Structures are given as structure tokens and as C-alpha cells.
Chain A
Amino acid sequence: MRKSITIVGASLAGLRGAEALRRDGFNGPISLIGDEPHAPYDRPPLSKKILAGDWEADRAALTPAERFADLNLDLRLGSRATKLNVDSQTLWVDGEPEAYQGLLIATGARCRTLPGTEGMNGVHTLRSLNDCLAIRTALEAGPRRLVVVGAGFIGAEVAATAVGRGVPTTLIESLAAPLERVVGNMVGEVVAEVHRSNGVDLRCGVGVTAVHGREQIEAVELTDGTIIETDLLVVGIGVLPNTEWLEGSGLTIENGVVCDETCLAAPGVTAAGDVARWLNQRYGELMRVEHWDNAVEQGPYAARRLLVDQPADPFTPVPWFWSDQFDRKIQLAGRPSPDDEVQIVNGSIEEHRFAAFYGSHGKLRAVFGMNRPRQVMQGKNLLAQGASWQEALAVAAAWE
């Protein structure tokens, strides 16, 4: 039986893992090591309420200060894990070695950057509270124009929030529609329409070829030759898992920390959240999920896994996320693929209020909703049951 647990990454997955151990009655030492200076906070508000100026930063705290004391954690903020060796069970923190008994890796992910913009003023990515506050300050300063590169979820939310603050905003996407990689073209076009009707200058099917400016950003040049003058650029072109510190550790690192179906990466080592790539037996493949709800579920699962010898039930969630853009609540459960059939099963596209099913090979694969939370959750249950396309359509037919 392990008598102490070390958790690297003091954010959603790591903290929820520590809390689960305490809830279960584990009273050995728990170290929670994080390289950010702040107590664990929630990231979704960083592109929504906090960026909008509706919330102050402290509203995003993941656990109130008074409850933190009860958890009795050895919380080591501003500390960075720099190296790991799983054979000798040694972890290096800020270069200093220490032994561990059970280790949960929850180091999350960081943003990809746009080549050629390193160190340029007015160019930002959004992952941390500090990033958010820097962008918020820049928005408050009244920029001429905000240009957002990448209309994935973060980019689309930043554009929506900035327009809501009255900042002229251009959103650039190399695919034919926002979120297309995830939701497909038909639904992506609806998201495009929502952005355009709210005043975003959305440009799809174009990439950025050059960024002009020396110390300060001045303009971006697009593949169609257009030059857009700007003093503020936010880059939202996806994330990379934080695994560099694990090179040579003995773990398999391949687009994340590779784990078995119980989130185990090596004896006594598990991973959870954005950094973990585990075998989800529901889909029979390795997957890495960058969604809030996954971190909330996998953190506790992977922490508990360290205290049992026999593998627990495998970790087999149906992935699910939400995104708030303007007054639209977007949700997606499941895993759509590009050649799925897509059918609107409730509401209407014109009203920007609908639910859509994605299916292939006679199976329901995913459910998308725009302001249809109830239907998405019922669809998520159908996915959990492995419903066939026909069964799913029959259920949807009964929705009013």
C-alpha cells in the first residue's frame, strides 16, 4: 500500500485527484506541485467571464481557501518538475531529486505559437490566468483591432468576448468554417453565421503567411494577399501536451503520456487530464481529451488507481464539452468523424437553436447542441449505452 502520493500539475485534474483521495479517507501525505504562482483556478472563465471583465480573477478559484486547509495538502506553488526516472522512482523538482511512492502526472497542455512572433509585443496566447489578464488589459486599452488566428473553441470564444466589449475583431480560420475540424462543415457554418451576425469579421479558408512588425505587431498578411493592420493578435491554434520534462523518464511519450485502460503509465505512475493519452476501451483506441469534464473525472480516477493493486474498472467516458459564444451554449458529446451522416433532430438551424446527431455504420457517434442542453445530455446517455442510429432517432422523435 502506498503511503504517500505526489501530484505534478496543480490545476483541475491534479486538485480534483487530491480531493478524491481525501474524500476516500486517505490520510497520508499528498504533495501537489505546480509551476504557476496562483492557487489552483479554473480555466474556462479565462476566455469568458474574466476576459469580459464580468468577473475578477479570484472568482475562478477551484477550491475556496477555507476548504483548502481541510485538504491538508503539501501545496508547492511556483515549483516545477524538471525530470523523472520511473526505475529509481525519483522525481526532480526545480532540479532537486526526491523519492515518490505514487505519482499522478497532470501537467496539462500549453498553447502552440505562431512562428515569427516570439517576444513580439501585442501577440498573445491564452492558457493561464496571467495570459488572460494580459489580454484583458490590452482589450481595455482600446486596440484598433483584435485579430484572432484560429477559430477553434478558444479563438472563437475570445473573438466573441472581444466583440462583446466593443473591440473590432477579425477571426481567421484556415478551414472553411469555425470549429470545422470537430463539428464538421454543416454545423461549422451555423457557428460562422452566429459570429457574423454578432459583428465578427470572420475570414475562413485563409491562413497567415506573415506577421509584420518589429517589437510591436503591426499587421498580419493572409494567404489570399490581404493585409490586416492590427495592434493586438491572439493566437488560438491548438495545444501541445506538457511532456518535455518526461524525456528519458522511462515512460512512453507520444502526443501525451501513454497509459493503459486504467490510466496507468508505469508501476506507481498514472496520468490524467489534458496530458494523458490512455486506451479508452469504449472506442478501442488511445485518446487524449482536452476538455474540462474529462479532467474532473480522470483526475480522481487516476489518483485512486495509485492506491489499488488490482486494476479498477477501465476508464471509458464518452467525451463531452461545452463552449459559450455570445448567448449561444454549444455542446458536443461523443466523437464525430468527417464522414458521419449529420441529421438535425431537434429545433432549427435558422433560430440557432438545434440538436444534431452524427452517425455512421448504423451507430450514433456524437450529439451536437446549440442551446439544447437537455437534448445533448440525453444524447450523451444514448452514446453511453452504445445506441444504434435507429434507436437514437426514435428517442429524438419523441422530443417536442
Chain B
Amino acid sequence: MRIVVDYDLCESNATCMDLAPDVFEVRDDDFLYVLNETPSDDRREVMEDAVRRCPKQAIALKD
């Protein structure tokens, strides 16, 4: 599973970081950094939650 963020849509509101701080981090420069682009499969449920809860629909999961 690979995390793909559309940075044109992302507005750095950090909802994803709230759900998985080890994968998503909004830094002090107000940009989102993906710390781990390929989280292990046992994280799928949390990643799908991040996709749904992103207010900008900026996150996608690719297999």
C-alpha cells in the first residue's frame, strides 16, 4: 500500500496527522510531509480512515 497525497488539494489542516502521526506530519512551515509512504498492510484501516476524514479529499491509497 502506497500513500499518495495531492498537494494541490491538501491544505495542511493536519487531520491525517491526528490519526497517524507516524505517517503524516504537518511541520512548522505549514506543509504536510509524508513520513512513511508505504505503511504496512496492518495499518490499512487507519489509512482508509485518513482518506475519508481528509476534508480536502487529498489522500489516496495505491496498491
Question: Which residues of A come within 8 Å of B, CB atoms?
Answer: 16, 23, 42, 44, 292-293, 296-297, 322, 324, 329, 331, 371, 373-374, 376-377, 380-381, 400
Contact = CB atoms under 8 A, between A and B. Distances in A.
B26 A374 contact: yes
Contacts of B13: 322, 329, 331, 373
A42 B25 CA distance: 25
Contact of B30 (A16, A292, A371): A371
Given A329-B12, A377-B15, 20 more contacts: A23-B48, A42-B57, A44-B55, A292-B55, A293-B15, A293-B53, A293-B55, A296-B53, A297-B53, A322-B13, A324-B11, A329-B11, A371-B30, A373-B30, A374-B14, A374-B17, A374-B27, A374-B28, A377-B26, A381-B18
A22 to B, nearest CB: 13
Interface in B35-49: 48
Contacts of B2: none
Nearest to B48: A23
Contacts of B18: 377, 380-381
Nearest to B55: A292
Judged by DSSP, the binding face of A is helix
A331 B13 CA distance: 8
Contacts of A293: 15, 53, 55
Contacts of A296: 52-53
A293 B30 CA distance: 21
A46 to B, nearest CB: 13
Interface string B1-22: 0000000000111110110000
Tier of interface size on chain B: 10 to 19
17 contacts: A16-B52, A44-B55, A293-B53, A293-B55, A296-B52, A322-B13, A324-B11, A373-B13, A373-B30, A374-B14, A374-B25, A377-B14, A377-B15, A377-B18, A377-B26, A381-B18, A400-B28
B51 to A, nearest CB: 11
Nearest to A48: B11
A314 B50 CA distance: 22
Contacts of B12: 329, 373
A41 B57 CA distance: 12
A381 B15 CA distance: 11
Contacts of A292: 55
A23 B44 CA distance: 13
Nearest to A399: B28
A376 B55 contact: no
A314 to B, nearest CB: 19
Contact of A373 (B26, B48, B53, B57): B26
A288 B17 CA distance: 26
B40 to A, nearest CB: 20
Q: Which of A42, A296, A371, A373 has the most CB of B within 10 A?
A: A373
B14 A376 contact: yes
Nearest to B17: A377
Contacts of A23: 48
Nearest to B18: A377
A292 B11 CA distance: 15
B7 to A, nearest CB: 15
A234 B37 CA distance: 44
Contacts of A371: 30
B32 to A, nearest CB: 9
A137 to B, nearest CB: 25
A373 B28 contact: no
Nearest to A400: B28
A161 to B, nearest CB: 15
B26 A322 contact: no
Contacts of A400: 28
Nearest to A330: B13
B52 A373 contact: no
A346 B27 CA distance: 14
A50 to B, nearest CB: 13
Contacts of A380: 18
